[in-house]
Structures are given as structure tokens and as C-alpha cells.
A = this chain, B = another copy of it.
Amino acid sequence: MTIQARLSLVAAALFSLAACGEATQSDTQTSGTANAAERAPIGIVIHGGAGTITRENMTPEREAAFTAALTAALDAGYEILDAGGDSMDAVIAAIQLMEEEPLFNAGRGAVYTYDGGHELDASLMHGGTLDAGAVSGVRTVRSPIALAREVMENSRHVMLSAAGAEQFAVEQGLELVDNSYFNTEHRFEQLQRALELLREQDRTGDHIANADWDSAFDMGTVGAVALDQQGNIVAGTSTGGMTAKRYNRIGDSPIIGAGTWADNASCGVSATGHGEYFIRYNVSAQICSRVKYLGESIEAAGNYVIHEELLPAGGTGGVIIMDAQGNVSMPFNTEGMYRGARTSRLGTVIGIYSEEE
């Protein structure tokens, strides 16, 4: 099957998934080893960024590369769940593959700061214990999501930052790299264009129009939410943040409640988009609060927050959501969002665009 045909098939599945309230469609059979109906539902949902992603600005090669990267991350997470492993390990495995993949704005491939370096943010939350770990402004840790886990499990704090977080990483024996390890030519070019816009703004005093600020500058935050056989939901997010960010800016990705949230009693969420809005609207926790307090489905709650709250305010982006029944929702208000899910009920679905024919 060609990638195009596969994506169309996937698109149909996703469209149904979006239209019918509860996820029941499947396009690809999983390699399930037992009768899925007899087992507790398991699954993983991931994203790799939201923004101006259209068929017009996509090449078949790039589409294939994203599809392959998303599939690999889903499979890595799902295999752990399918073998009875826990959702924490599944989320870490999926995110680490995406951190290593230069297509995404996380780990290698992270965007550049205003000063020409990289500052990475990540967070992680366990829906059973409400334990959480987060790091911001990390420059030398190869896997920020692994560091978030160390903070959660081995420190008395929830959130560490900058040089202090790196010192903690050293003490925990995590792999360090030079900041230049995260360099990619593609992101460097984006920085040059972003700096040009910022200089123009300084010169004219006019704020940069949204249309001029290429959403690809910031696109590619990665995240995963998984449900294991024990019924535990874990959510995680990792990012390089915004191109040309200044002043040690912290975005939503390392903020528990904004970029990441998990509570077995409602749902797990990981977000991607214009982080400032996701902080101000407490997006991930709000979605789960609507599920918990209003009794909404994850789909209704996600759609409300993404389309009815964020979009009118000017906040662009999307989220992935999973509940304890293994339902999945992936709402976004941009032209596209790199996304995918693999669950014991759905099989595998992967999507890129918004309206797929």
C-alpha cells in the first residue's frame, strides 16, 4: 500500500473517530497475541506537533518520514504495554524515539533560542499516584523526558530547571551531550528567518503578524499518553519550545496542568501548540476537569477546550487524550497535527492533516 493510500485509509478512520463520539474504528489490525476483548484495554496515543501542515506544503518523502517515525514510536510504546509493561515505560520509550528523531522539536531537532542555543523542557505525570516530574531550560541532557522521570522518582521536588536540573542529571547518571548535539540545519535556518522578523519588528515597532510568523518555527513538540493493563494512565511531553525564545522563557510543556496532566479518574493529556495560551487556559487539566466534574466524554471535553476556548482567544494547537477505558481523542485547531494512536480496541491510526479526503 502506498503511503498516500494508507493515509487516506487512516484519515477515514480518524474522521469516524472524530465524528462518532467514542472511538470504535480501526484500520490496521494490531499484532495482538490474545483476544483483546478479554483483556483490560491498553493503548498509547502520541503527537509530534501541530501547525500549518497541509498537503500543499508536504512532500511524499516527508510524509513518509513522519508516518514512519510516528509508527515506530507507537509500536515501541505499545509493545511494552502488550507485554504487560507499565504505561510509564511505554510513554518514555515512545517519547525517547521522537526526541532522537530530528523531524521533531524535541531532543535532537529542537528549535534554537534567540541566542543560538537550545533549551529543552519536559514533564511527566502518573495518573494513579498523581506523581509528577518536570524540567525546564535543560541544555546538556540528551533525553529531557528521562530527566523528568528522575525528578519524579528520585528527588523531593517536582520541577527542576537550568543548570540545577543538569547537576541533578549528572548525579543520576544520565547521558549528557554538548548543546550542539541538538543542532540541525533546518532549525538553524528557521532561527535566521525568525530573527529577521524580530529585527524588522524592532525597526518598525509593528508586532509580527501571525501570518508572517511561520508556525513551522515552533512546530514539533512531542508527547505521549498511555494506558496499561493495571489501568494506570501516564502522560508526558518533551519540547525545544519556541524558535527565538528569549529570557529563559518557559512554555507549557513542563507545566503540570498546562502541557501535561494525568489522572486515572478522568484522563491523560499531552499538548502541543502556542504554549503561552496553553498555560493561561490550563489546557490539559481543564480537559480532565470537564470529564471529571461535568461527565463529558474526552472527545467533548477536548473539543470544547481546543475549539471553543482556545481558538477564539487566538491559541493554536492541539492535544492528545486517553481515558481509562482506552478511548482516544486528538483534537486540534490548526491545519494539521502529527498524531497517532495504537490501542487494543482501535488498532493503529495515524494522521497528519485536518481535513483528509
**Chain B contacts of A236 at CB under 8 A?**
none
CB pair A157 B289 closer than 8 Å: no
* Cβ B165 vs Cβ A247 within 8 A: yes
A161 and B137 contacting across the interface, CB-CB below 8 Å: yes
B280 touches A160 (CB 8 A): no
User: A199 at the A/B interface (Cβ < 8 Å)?
Assistant: no
In this complex, the member of A125, A246, A248, A255 whose beta carbon has the largest number of chain B beta carbons within 10 angstroms is: A248
What is the interface size of chain A, counting residues whose CB is below 8 A from a CB of the partner?
45
Interface segment, one of A57-65, A86-94, A256-264, A343-351 = A256-264
Question: Please, how many angstroms separate the alpha-carbon atoms of A155 and B249 in the complex?
Answer: 10
* Chain B neighbourhood of A250, CB < 8 A: 134, 136, 157, 159-161
Contact of A290 among B131, B246, B293, B313 (CB under 8 A): B293
Known: A257-B258, A289-B286. A159 touches B280 (CB 8 A): no
CB distance from A234 to the nearest CB of B (A): 14
- The distance in angstroms between the C-alpha atoms of A164 and B159, with both chains bound, is 18
Copies of the protein in its oligomer: 2
CA distance in complex: A353, B290 (Å): 35
State whether the Cβ of A97 lies closer than 8 Å to any Cβ in chain B: no
Decide: B276 and A313 in contact? CB cutoff 8 A: no
> Is A282 in the interface zone, CB < 8 Å from B?
yes
In the bound complex, CA of A260 to CA of B273 (Å): 22
Q: Are A161 and B162 in contact (CB under 8 A)?
A: yes
Cross-chain contact B246 with A164 (CB below 8 angstroms): yes
User: For residue A281, which residue of chain B has the nearest CB?
Assistant: B130
In the complex, A341 has a CB within 8 A of chain B: no
Within 8 A of B (CB), among A263-302: 275-276, 279-282, 285-286, 289-290, 293-294
- Determine the residue in chain B with the shortest Cβ distance to A278: B158
Q: CA of A289 to CA of B130 in the docked complex: distance in angstroms? A: 18
> Is the C-beta of A132 less than 8 angstroms from some C-beta in chain B?
yes
Nearest 8 CB-CB pairs, A to B? Answer: A164-B248, A164-B247, A293-B293, A289-B289, A257-B257, A257-B282, A159-B250, A161-B248
